[in-house]
Structure 1
Amino acid sequence: MSVRRLAALVVLLGLVVSACTSEPEESFTGSRLKNPYQAADIALTDTSGAPYSLGADTTKPLTIVFFGYTKCPDFCPMVMNNLAAAMNRLDAADRRRVDVVFVTTDPARDDQRTLRAYLDGYDKEFIGLTGDLESIIEVGDPLHVYVNDGVKLPSGGYDLGGHSTFTLALDSDHQAVALWNQETSSAEFAADIHTLLTED
């Protein structure tokens, strides 16, 4: 065998070995924010009546935040179901390092008791926040969360005019470093949350 052919064979074998032993590229379903959003230090009220600020009280390595309302017929229950299932997919060590916070966009109907009963249906450790609508809008604004006031419909229901349906990941510096859309599955949430925790 010529030296040239031998050299080519060595290079080819090296590439094969490299392909077999290299680590797979990271798969992250959500969107990482190159310029994180800073949460505002504006106190809302949790379901126990205590003040809670996304800009001061999110001290765990990761806080998952979703803005929605308990009477929401579609995206809110879908996202909350997936978040609850995602928390169950995490091992105990990861789970202890994560909080899930639900901020109501319908404070006129979502008082502390209503929020607690709603969240208990998903996970008793989930944190619920309410307050006056103006404060909720101010909390959402720096996180690029759109919250609109609602109007009562002739049917007796409410048209909230819309709210953002993405979910945010805040780090211990109270910065949103990643977000997910409403179609993210529980498995995708869990995998991404684990990835973010390993980077802490």
Structure 2
Amino acid sequence: MPSPRTWPAGSGVRERRLRRLVAVVLAVAVLALSGCGSDRQPNAVAGLTGSDNHGFHGTYLDTPYLVPDLTLTDTAGAPYSLAAAPAPLKIVFFGYTKCPDICQVVMSTIASAVSRLKADQRDRVQVVFVTTDPGRDTRPVLRTYLDRLDPAFVGLTGELPRIIDLAKPLKVFIEKGARLPSGGYDVTHTTEVFGVAGNQARLAWGQDTSPSAMAADIIKLLRS
């Protein structure tokens, strides 16, 4: 296709085709982003950067978010409380397996970050994926999804109101979205990842955090 700068004046047909192509690309981009997070929804780390981020790449929470002691169910059917789990550091993300884009990107970032840790560091970290779509994310579905990333990752499900109760103190917004032509539906949710020690979320990473930056922060949290 010739460059737009070389098209002769009056090439109206080509210009109309170009405008239609741009419109289609923009429409696809909007559709892809609609399922995981939205700029209309609260951002879990908005306004919290402060003047001293303590050397972290993510956002250090000077006032930690307190994780409620609520029990969900892991993929083996066992009860699991995020607040009471004994792992020294839990890396927590709320998402769903049918998310069209962002969830997979974020979870891949987490998997890559964890793979950069030394064995003794990795043993002190537990990655926890909390579904925002328990109606479709059954325990087997969650397990299959997480096994593709790392079999050690924990998947949690439960009744949606209980998941929302767990998410609210972390400023994670969850809402079932519009039904899609395919018959499915989107789930709108914020997309931050949290570093949780005990029952306190101490650090939050945005969806654009690189694996190397997240790995460096995890190591720093383990040392603190």
TM-score norm. by structure 2 comes to 0.74
Quote the residue 2:102 is aligned against.
75
Q: 2: distance between equivalents of 1:188 and 1:174? A: 23
Instruction: State whether structure 2 residue 43 is matched by structure 1 residue 30.
Output: no
Q: 2: distance between equivalents of 1:150 and 1:55? A: 28
Q: 2: distance between equivalents of 1:138 and 1:175? A: 15
Q: 1: distance between equivalents of 2:177 and 2:59? A: 29
Greater CA drift, 143-152 or 107-116:
143-152
Opposite residue 177 of structure 1, the aligned amino acid is R
Among all aligned residue pairs of Structure 1 and Structure 2, give the percentage whose two residues are the same amino acid: 53
Q: Pick from 153, 165, 175: which aligns with 1:148?
A: 175
8 Å CA contact 1:42–1:139 kept in 2: the answer is yes
Q: 1: distance between equivalents of 2:153 and 2:160? A: 21
Q: 2: distance between equivalents of 1:92 and 1:152? A: 44
8 Å CA contact 1:37–1:142 kept in 2: the answer is yes
Q: 2: distance between equivalents of 1:65 and 1:134? A: 18
Instruction: State whether structure 2 residue 160 is matched by structure 1 residue 164.
Output: no
Q: Pick from 206, 214, 219: which aligns with 1:181?
A: 206
Opposite residue 210 of structure 2, the aligned amino acid is S
**Cα offset for 1:104?**
0.4
Count how many residue pairs are aligned between Structure 1 and Structure 2: 172
Deviation track 1:4-62 (CA, whole Å, cap 9, x = no partner) reads xxxxxxxxxxxxxxxxxxxxxx74210000100111111111000011111222x2211
8 Å CA contact 1:133–1:149 kept in 2: the answer is no
Q: 2: distance between equivalents of 1:159 and 1:95? A: 33
Report the aligned-residue RMSD. 1.4
Structure 2 gap ranges (5+) = 1-53
Q: 1: distance between equivalents of 2:94 and 2:216? A: 22
Instruction: State whether structure 2 residue 71 is matched by structure 1 residue 46.
Output: no
Match of 1:148, SS state, is strand
Opposite residue 180 of structure 1, the aligned amino acid is W
8 Å CA contact 2:176–2:185 kept in 1: the answer is no
Match of 1:73, SS state, is coil
Q: 1: distance between equivalents of 2:94 and 2:146? A: 13
Opposite residue 62 of structure 2, the aligned amino acid is K
Quote the residue 2:34 is aligned against.
none
Runs of 4+ in 1 over 3 A off after TM superposition: none
**Cα offset for 1:151?**
4.1
Quote the residue 1:11 is aligned against.
none
Q: 2: distance between equivalents of 1:41 and 1:108? A: 23
Opposite residue 190 of structure 2, the aligned amino acid is S
Q: 1: distance between equivalents of 2:186 and 2:145? A: 20
